[in-house]
Structure 1
Amino acid sequence: MDNIAGSKPTLTWAVHISVVALVLLWLFPTIGLFVSSFRTADQISSSGWWKALFPTEQNMTLRTAAPETQVQEGDLWVIEGNLFEEENSDATIATWGTSSRDLSAYQPGDTAEDDGMRLTVEADGAYRLTSGTEMEGRRGERVFVVAETPPDFTLANYRQVLLSGDSTDSMSKAFFNTLTVTIPATIIPIVIAAFAAYALAWMDFPGRALLIAFVVGLLVVPLQLALIPLLKLHLGIGIGKGYLGTWLAHTGFGLPLAIYLLRNYMVGLPRDIIENARVDGATDFQIFTKIILPLSFPALASFAIFQFLWTWNDLLVAKVFLIDATGQTTVMTNQIVELLGTRGGNWEILATAAFVSIAMPLLVFFAMQKYLVRGLLAGSVK
């Protein structure tokens, strides 16, 4: 009865639920980072990103104006004003008090009396402080309030991160440095791997099987195992402190997967097309450029996604091979690490910098994701 037409096995529902759960686990942090990048520091510290569309409560310690601003009205000395500064003018007071131990002692409009002084505070922050004797001191009276602030979204975080001239916060230079590393480090291994994959798939020469086995074996070699020897080699030939050494390092580490992926795709292409081209007098280079490459675009795009995401999010290779004490070649991942040290408490800056860092990979992935599955499944079935 489990295989009745129109019914779905239990395993199918389990797979669907698992996929939805994985998507949500990936999506929620991304949305949270995006929303937090538009919030102010006070709102981030007072409530989670899921409350961004609702008013938030904040405990504030405010002061009345200094006694030097008091005026005499009959027998009373009076100080009037507003507790909120200009940037908090939209906030409203829910409760207030004259002691930090009891912030809900009074409601807006109530009057507190203490040592001959009377203080009345309204919901919009307007207050009136009166005393029968002249008030003394350099600072105003403290008022502890619980204020409700409306949702507030700002572009100031992005202006600080992208357009600021401060080298500590600015990600613009690091953004272009990352592009300088990523684009060549994606194109170079694709070009080399495409030629190698065609040779391993359609050209007969001695040792081809051994080369294929060698490429498969390189897939399991840990990246960390080759870092120090490769760095010594780069330093020995003078390319260990710049973009060239980083490009070659990414190329070397990405080539095994690229060759394996492209070779599996190319070997599954129809043999008749290639044989007919050879009968018509086409050379291997013409077959490769005019037939194989256009037909292999899904596999090329699939590897391009992997390589781009890897090099964009890489920190280890950039730390080892892109040595620069002046910060002129700092990539975005390294810039975020530095922000954690200098801006560890500024969550709005960190959230904005992190989202700027993942925005480009997200754009590339969604633009080319339709080729990802086609490229990964290439050669799996006949």
Structure 2
Amino acid sequence: MTALATRIRRIGLPRLAVHLSVLLIVIIWLIPTLGILVTSVRDRDQITTSGWWTAFSSSVQTSAARLGDPSEQRQEGAAYVIAGNVFEEGAAGTVRAFGVRVQEPAAFEAGEAAEIGDGETLTVNEDGSYVHASTAPFEGSRGQRVYLSVASAPEFTLENYERVIAAEGLGQSFINSLTVTIPATIIPILIAAFAAYALSWMQFPGRALILATIIGLIVVPLQMSLIPLLRLYNEISILFGVPSKTYAGIWLAHTAFGMPLAIYLLRNYIAGLPKEIIESARVDGASDFEIFMKIVLPLSFPALASFAIFQFLWVWNDLLIAIVFLGTGRDQLVLTGSLNALLGSRGGNWEILTASAFITIIIPLLVFFGLQRYLVRGLLAGSVKGG
């Protein structure tokens, strides 16, 4: 306890509270993500009978089976016997309990000789073999119905992903999302980087007014501009005889919506770079373009990566702009649109929904973890180095 108290004092209570809070947030975020991943590779029948946290243990399912019909009976001494196995050929499992009434599917333990009335006894063993015996000949054309509690070993499969990508059309939607997101992330970064440098290190009339306008545009809801922008696209398409719903259109829309925040973040970062470096380069005869390309751009990589994460995640998870500016056809639908359609048509198929959801989040996860070391550095630098 003394060592622990010393370590806590060394770290400091405020800092320790921050670390614990971050750890709690990570755990809260990680648990549902892990649940989606595990559920997406489980067998469909096991998903409906047990939670994902039991995926690595045996799951118990209640099922019904019909025993052999009276034509299969044989006489053994004074008893008439029907024997067989409740499992179909190729099926596997362990019978834990059985019953002959739907209200009591686990009335008897496996291996127990159960008295089921009229001089009949039934024994169902763990391996599924059964012996149905009676003191009188069996009559009728159908065998006795029996209810079983069967424990099945954990089953994992990639068929859910194969079905989602092939049959459900998410493969094309995945490509559509990449086609939309990659250019819609790169284009605003390129334009915003040039604008941020100009607003930071170049003197020209109206610079402060332009910066104030950009800051004001950050808080403007994009929904306000959807209808006017769509009308503009339609008028241009009619004027030049080109389709209005194209990838170029949605790239420009995402670029316009992402530019204000991009310029603001990058400008704050670039304005905080050491002034001596810029002035020394100018003394050596470097032009503004050379200063930007050879000095500012390499030093601004953390800020560029920070905005790239935000823009990529925002565009990848977008549904509204994709529907408005690209369309809802099967060849144009992005991943979020396909997932939304599956929620309506496959709401009960958890194996389909979870596999689709994990396909949707796998790329953002890779982007975030690949660039996250630059995220905090870029945001903090941009927040304290404003010029």
TM over 0.5, shorter chain? yes
Instruction: Give the deviation of 1:9 after TM superposition.
Output: 5.0
Equivalent position of 1:246 in the other structure:
250
Aligned residues: 372
Partner letter of residue 328 of structure 1?
A: D
Among 29, 48, 51, the residue aligned to 1:48: 51
Instruction: Give the deviation of 1:122 after TM superposition.
Output: 0.7
- Contact 1:83-1:127 within 8 A present in 2 as well: yes
Matched, 1:329 2:340: no
* Paired residue secondary structure (1:377): helix
- Contact 1:119-1:129 within 8 A present in 2 as well: yes
Equivalent position of 2:214 in the other structure:
215
* Paired residue secondary structure (1:183): helix
| Structure 2 gaps, min length 5 | 1-6, 238-242
**CA shift digits 1:84-126 (9 cap, x unpaired):** 235641x211111111122232221223344454432111111
Equivalent position of 2:100 in the other structure:
98
Instruction: Give the deviation of 1:350 after TM superposition.
Output: 0.5
- Contact 1:40-1:152 within 8 A present in 2 as well: yes
Instruction: Give the deviation of 1:73 after TM superposition.
Output: 4.4
CA gap of 1:16–1:150, structure 2 versus 1, over 3 A, is same
| Structure 1 gaps, min length 5 | none
Equivalent position of 1:157 in the other structure:
160
**Structure 2 length as normaliser, TM-score?**
0.90
Partner letter of residue 231 of structure 2?
A: K
Counterparts of 2:112 and 2:344, CA distance in 1: 46
Equivalent position of 1:311 in the other structure:
315
CA gap of 1:107–1:328, structure 2 versus 1, over 3 A, is same
Instruction: Give the deviation of 1:74 after TM superposition.
Output: 5.8
**Structure 1 length as normaliser, TM-score?**
0.91
Among 146, 150, 157, the residue aligned to 1:147: 150
* Paired residue secondary structure (2:212): helix
CA gap of 1:170–1:79, structure 2 versus 1, over 3 A, is farther
- Contact 1:43-1:56 within 8 A present in 2 as well: yes
Instruction: Give the deviation of 1:249 after TM superposition.
Output: 0.9
CA gap of 1:8–1:289, structure 2 versus 1, over 3 A, is closer
Counterparts of 2:220 and 2:267, CA distance in 1: 19
**CA shift digits 1:289-340 (9 cap, x unpaired):** 1111111111111111111111111111112111143x10111111111111
CA gap of 1:226–1:290, structure 2 versus 1, over 3 A, is same
CA gap of 1:245–1:65, structure 2 versus 1, over 3 A, is farther
Instruction: Give the deviation of 1:379 after TM superposition.
Output: 3.7
- Contact 1:301-1:368 within 8 A present in 2 as well: yes
CA gap of 1:378–1:247, structure 2 versus 1, over 3 A, is same
Name which of structure 1's ranges 56-65 and 72-81 shifts more when overlaid on structure 2: 72-81
Matched, 1:258 2:262: yes
**CA shift digits 1:120-178 (9 cap, x unpaired):** 211111123345435432x432111112222222222122122x2x2xx2311111111
Superposition pairs of residues 149-228 of structure 1, within 5 angstroms: 149-162=152-165, 164=166, 166=167, 169-228=168-227
CA gap of 1:245–1:79, structure 2 versus 1, over 3 A, is farther
Counterparts of 2:244 and 2:89, CA distance in 1: 53
Among 27, 50, 53, the residue aligned to 1:24: 27
**CA shift digits 1:209-235 (9 cap, x unpaired):** 000000000110011111111111112
**RMSD after superposition:** 2.3
- Contact 1:96-1:104 within 8 A present in 2 as well: yes
CA gap of 1:65–1:312, structure 2 versus 1, over 3 A, is farther
- Contact 2:73-2:138 within 8 A present in 1 as well: no
* More helix, by proportion: 2
CA gap of 1:295–1:14, structure 2 versus 1, over 3 A, is closer
Counterparts of 2:328 and 2:382, CA distance in 1: 43
Instruction: Give the deviation of 1:67 after TM superposition.
Output: 4.9
CA gap of 1:10–1:283, structure 2 versus 1, over 3 A, is closer
Among 252, 271, 277, the residue aligned to 1:267: 271
* Paired residue secondary structure (1:99): coil
Partner letter of residue 105 of structure 2?
A: L
CA gap of 1:102–1:287, structure 2 versus 1, over 3 A, is same
Counterparts of 1:355 and 1:87, CA distance in 2: 31
CA gap of 1:191–1:65, structure 2 versus 1, over 3 A, is farther
Counterparts of 1:109 and 1:380, CA distance in 2: 71
* Paired residue secondary structure (1:380): helix
